[in-house]
Structure 1
């Protein structure tokens, strides 16, 4: 029950400042039509309720199952199974990410269908899946994180030289939207679960860094998409 109360406080602290600023602006500077302003207030209530239910679901469902899967995989002693599961989970959790869908739909509208929403969603998801797999390789074989980050961003820099300019901002935005409320909790829990078994609870912090790697994948994927479409 305390966890539910804490999630409620988090949502209130997240939504209330935005609502307060808009309300102050409404009565001082903006003066929106009453119908639109009431729609905003209704939206705030719905967003707050939805965010509250979502966060409760994350804490009672996604985080525990992510850690349990991460803890169970190393016990199989099958490297191929761990890597395959990491890739598949990275792909499917990104497909379910609301932020990715919002970005894909907006790009579909702006490009007038030239870049389909599903084309972008699948490209971003594959990028995340590959780099979640690489994060498992890092954990299994003790590869220093700095080398993977350096290699990943070196590749991003090289691809930026040949990627059409219109795709550059899209690619970096794609890297940002994958750090959303669905993807981050699950893959972080997965990484912590794996390291807690392989390296012990005292070293489970090694599971962090997986999000930093996962955000590189979509950037590279969309840049490659730009090279193909360009």
Structure 2
């Protein structure tokens, strides 16, 4: 197989899928512009240029994922699982999950919007680090589950119980933001590289099934960023309560004087 065939194999399928996803959005935008928006020509063509760049970017990104991330994840998983001391997968999973989360494009968009809407109260770098730590913990737990053979229920049921407990102790803004973070965390980076690596590891370990043990990592990746964001919200709320108490005590002391 030639290098050109390896690079561009399946490219037309990616192009078709992206066009099928983007075209309805563009069509609705164009119709709404003529019916309601009535933008100036300059602004209209600027947005259309953005659609065009988005289309090209998605095609290149998804094709790169198909020819690079999935094979690399499979190869890396096979190599790590064949090591004699394969419990190193747990700290490596923590590190790789953090780095993959830190590079996830959807998370960057999410944290930037949060910083803008909160007026800078919630810094994007802090939230990005918190979500990435949650993803790292999810991958580390998935590696532990693969090696030890735990059921996924032992993580999901207590995890979501803890989510409902913490959800009642944080502001509504953090509760809504936490579940959105869980959704964006399972983006193309995690769902390709990490998932393919986990399935490959499960196929290499004796007594593990790729279908039963290999899958489930995405479910954990959707859970742990929710918990980490809620934990951040709880810290913010405690700091705010402490600040209000100190402010109230200072006002009372000034009134006594």
Separation in 1, partners of 2:45, 2:121: 37
| 2:211 matches 1:205 | yes
- Matching of residues 177-216 of structure 1 within 5 Å: 177-199=184-206, 203-206=209-212, 207-216=214-223
Once residues 38 and 102 of structure 1 are traced to their aligned partners in structure 2, the CA distance between those partners, rounded to angstroms, is: 23
Q: After TM superposition, where is structure 1 displaced by more than 4 Å over at least 4 residues in a row?
A: none
Q: Which residue of 2 aligns with 1:16?
A: 23
Partner deviation per Cα, 1:160-204 (whole Å, 9 max, x = no partner): 12223221111111111101122221111111111111158x932
The within-5 A match list for 1:1-230 is 1-199=8-206, 203-206=209-212, 207-230=214-237
- TM-aligned CA deviation for residue 56 of structure 1: 1.1
**Cα distance in 1 between the residues matched to 2:236 and 2:69:** 36
Residues 19 and 55, structure 2, Cα contact 8 Å, conserved in 1: yes
C-alpha contact 2:115 2:123 (8 A) present in aligned 1: yes
CA distance in structure 2 between the partners assigned to 1:85 and 1:228 by the alignment: 28
How far 1:6 moved relative to its partner? 0.9
Q: 1:111 Cα deviation (Å)?
A: 2.1
RMSD: 1.6
Deviation at 1:128, TM superposition (A): 0.8
State the TM-score, normalizing by the size of structure 1: 0.94
CA distance in 2, matches of 1:26, 1:115: 34
| SS of aligned partner of 1:32 | coil
When normalised by structure 2's length, the TM-score is 0.84
Gaps of 5+ in 2: 1-7, 238-257
TM superposition shift of 1:222: 0.8
SS at match of 2:10: helix
Shift of 1:91: 0.3
Q: CA 1:158–1:55 in 2, change beyond 3 Å: closer, same or farther?
A: same
* Larger RCO (CA under 8 A, 6+ residues apart): 1
Structure 1 Cα separation of the partners of residues 199 and 55 of structure 2: 29
